[in-house]
Amino acid sequence: METIRSFGGRPDVHRPRHGYPVIHGVFDESPSLPTVTVYNHLDVQPASRDDGVWRTDPFVLRREGDRYFGRGTTDDKGPALSALFGVRTARESGVPVNLRVLWEFEEEVGSAGFEEVIRTAASKLRTGSILVSDTVWLTRTQPACPTSLRGFQGFRFVLQTGEEDRHSGDVGGPGRNPIAELMGLVCKIHDPDTGRVKIPGFYADVVRPSRRELEDFRRSGFSLRAYKKDFRLRSLRTNDPLEVMKRMWALPTFEVHGVAGGYAGPGLKSIVPGRAEVFASCRLVANQTPEKIRRLVTSFVKKHAPDVEVHAEGGAFPYRGVTTGPLADAVREAMRFGFGRKPVFVRDGGTIGAVVTMEKVLRCPVLFLGVSLPEHGYHAPNENFDWGQASRGMAAFARYFELVAGMGVRR
Amino acid sequence: METIRSFGGRPDVHRPRHGYPVIHGVFDESPSLPTVTVYNHLDVQPASRDDGVWRTDPFVLRREGDRYFGRGTTDDKGPALSALFGVRTARESGVPVNLRVLWEFEEEVGSAGFEEVIRTAASKLRTGSILVSDTVWLTRTQPACPTSLRGFQGFRFVLQTGEEDRHSGDVGGPGRNPIAELMGLVCKIHDPDTGRVKIPGFYADVVRPSRRELEDFRRSGFSLRAYKKDFRLRSLRTNDPLEVMKRMWALPTFEVHGVAGGYAGPGLKSIVPGRAEVFASCRLVANQTPEKIRRLVTSFVKKHAPDVEVHAEGGAFPYRGVTTGPLADAVREAMRFGFGRKPVFVRDGGTIGAVVTMEKVLRCPVLFLGVSLPEHGYHAPNENFDWGQASRGMAAFARYFELVAGMGVRR
């Protein structure tokens, strides 16, 4: 609040019934000017000195040379401050644009109250576009902005063939094994080796990345070796880097998360389980919808395994941002201005419901301008942010505001 | 001990280094006469009055009419006492045979020390044949004796594709999912719907039941409805009763017991597991051996899923008892004498390592003469034994001893 005031803004606090408040910082207000809002979150991941891996107190900001150490420095307070300095620069230069910041305080724990705030305060939050600054480049030498996010649809498959676990000496053979049958179902749904989903129509609505996007993927600085190292993966389904990026960012998945039922403790308990449950989910890409995927999976299961219950869990739309047009070009030009090199437009394989909520409720495009580097250590010990990214980020934000100002009000 | 003495026997106690003692009751000793040993166990299942389902104290023997209630009455103290009375009858009639009883005290908890006792005391336990009395008929109107038991080979399949569970937004698509891949492996090993094992050679050594055995299966009193009710199964892989008996008694299996790894708790955690483990086992039938099945499964996995580790767990031979010849005929005649009807020879789908141990170490055939009925409630609340089965059982045992005496000493 005080920070926003000290930068010349008016902070508005919006509280959901459950969850943490959202702070809206309003700088200027003129109906004749275009409006742009920068989204950041100020809550942080947990951290403990006891881990033994933090060299300094994670909750005391410590500067070493041009580097700032502490939990939240790069995720996402540093970028939030860079944006705020960009706001100040733009205002001091008299850039004709209404500037806003939108700060969330529960991004790391699921954004429970965020949608409610956006819906309730929609008229006050009205904006021409949103810039999310909460993403990481793939390499320090190549600025990168995600443009799209995957959606999500969870599933629980339940099969009960007996009232309880039975001794396999008694029922093994004639008795149905619900874990094994669910395994069979999972193998009918997808090929466990390639990940390819076998349900007819599953890929029908998938929008393939454009040639230009694929060109950007190639130039993104993605490294197979770094990817495997970062996520501590021993091997992958493919070793073609472009194929990895396509599968991670631009293709839907079917993933098994766990199996309940039977016995998997120490020793071996030779039972035929009475009941089993498989937890799975699909990541979705544009233009798939959670509803249609739910429908496809459910009717496929009903057909191939009629007595398996399907429970749909959660559900989030994929987000496909703009990669062409004036706003996308403004992001490209702003980053070139700030960092000396045009960014590549990549994607993100995760799901951020808040982005889709902002787009749908506030009816405006959401773009990304992230300034964090892999070596900053998102969610890791010794998280840091550096002055180079901060100062260049400020310039990029200021330039972006100037470019948006030049577009005038879209009616 | 006192019981054996009061029946005129000499009790010998054999103690393993770990586990409970085995009591050997010796009645008469004449090298010129044949020797027969009856095996029972005197330990019982747990029981609690707090269950609310026991109508009387499970550990106080209570008689109601001709029925005796209490834990262990039918499993296996009642049959042990019937055998002992059969011994007394035979001795009082001067039947020329050396009689022995062998009482185990840890059958219900895995017979940890039994094999050691049998091996160590083999010379003292020497006998021409063994009669196990610890089995249940399928229906009260048709005496039944199992002749064969299934063997066992446990397996753990382990696959690790990453050092830890990762977010499926980050690695879902390119990342290998070890649970899904193990599911694929399980489906390559067997058909989860039918249970049919697909590993070449798996069924090669299976000895099919003889026509006479199948005829006995048909007449055994097996009821599909009772079977499903007893084991509380909602449905089976087949509804053909003979097919159910064949699969339960005379065919090997591959059974999945549980899956470890990933997340299967409340909610849905959208991870790609780093590591997964599948617990499974095969029930074996004669003439399969645990060694060969281990070898077949291991090399099949190495071929189809080279980075899956296979760990063999346990291993027990199947037991195929005699269904023809003088001893088998003696069992048939003894039961006809006692119960008024010749028994059918069926099998048991479970594994009793002790039986194979006795056969192999003491080098003698092991036959079964069980006198318990389904309504006695093996392992169930209100376990009971009835005077009809007890008294007819005594007559059957006595007649069996007489028939064995008539065979003389086999050298």
ipTM of the modeled complex: 0.91
CA atoms within 13 A on the CB side of B103: 24
pLDDT for the residue B51: 61
Weakly modelled stretches of chain A, pLDDT under 50: none
Long-range pairs for A213-219: beta carbons < 8 A, 24 or more residues apart: A213/A147, A213/A250, A213/A323, A213/A345, A213/A347, A214/A242, A214/A246, A216/A344, A216/A345, A216/A346, A217/A242, A217/A245, A217/A246, A217/A249, A217/A344, A217/A346, A218/A242, A219/A142, A219/A344
Among A167, A248, A258, whose Cβ lies nearest the Cβ of B262?
A258
pLDDT score recorded for residue B411: 52
pLDDT at residue B93 greater than cutoff 90: yes
Distance from CA of B156 to the nearest CA of A (A): 8
A170-204 per-position pLDDT tens digit = 999 999 999 999 999 999 999 999 999 999 999 99
Nearest CB partner across the interface for B183, out of A186, A243, A253: A186
Let me know if A178 is exposed, middle or buried by CB neighbors in 10 A (0-12, 13-18, 19+): buried
Check pLDDT > 80 for residue B216.
yes
* Chain B residues touching residue A353 (CB < 8 angstroms): none
Of B162, B191, B247, the CB nearest to A232: B162
Q: Which residues of B touch A187 (CB under 8 A)?
A: 183-184, 187
Closest-approach residue (CA) in chain B for A170: B349
CA-wise closest residue to A74 among A396, A382, A395, A409: A382
Among residues of chain A, what percentage have pLDDT more than 70?
99
DSSP string, B101-140: EEEES-GGGT-TTHHHHHHHTTTTT--SEEEE---B-SBT
Q: What integer pLDDT is reported at residue A410 of this predicted model?
A: 61
Asked if A256 and B161 come within 8 Å (Cβ–Cβ), the reply is: no
Which structural domains are found in chain A, ordered by start? 2-149+318-407 (3.40.630.10), 151-203+251-315 (3.30.70.360), 207-249 (no CATH)
Taking contacts as CB-CB distances below 8 angstroms, the residues of chain B near A184 are 187, 191-193
Inter-CA distances, B264 with A184, A311, A314, B93, B179, Å:
18, 14, 16, 65, 12
pLDDT of residue A242: 98
What pLDDT score does B108 carry? 84
**pLDDT for the residue B267:** 79
- Substitution target in B240, B270, B284 with the highest count of A β-carbons within 10 Å is B270
Mean per-residue pLDDT, B332-351: 96
Percentage of chain A exceeding pLDDT 90: 87
Residues near B49 by beta carbon (within 8 Å), at least 6 away in sequence: B57, B58
Query: With the C-alpha atoms ordered B182, B188, B189, B194, is the resulting torsion angle positive or negative?
Result: positive
> Quick one: pLDDT at residue B223?
95
Contact A237 B176 (CB under 8 A): yes
A3-57 pLDDT, tens digit each: 999 999 999 999 999 889 999 999 988 989 999 999 999 999 888 776 668 888 9
The predicted structure's pLDDT at residue A316: 92
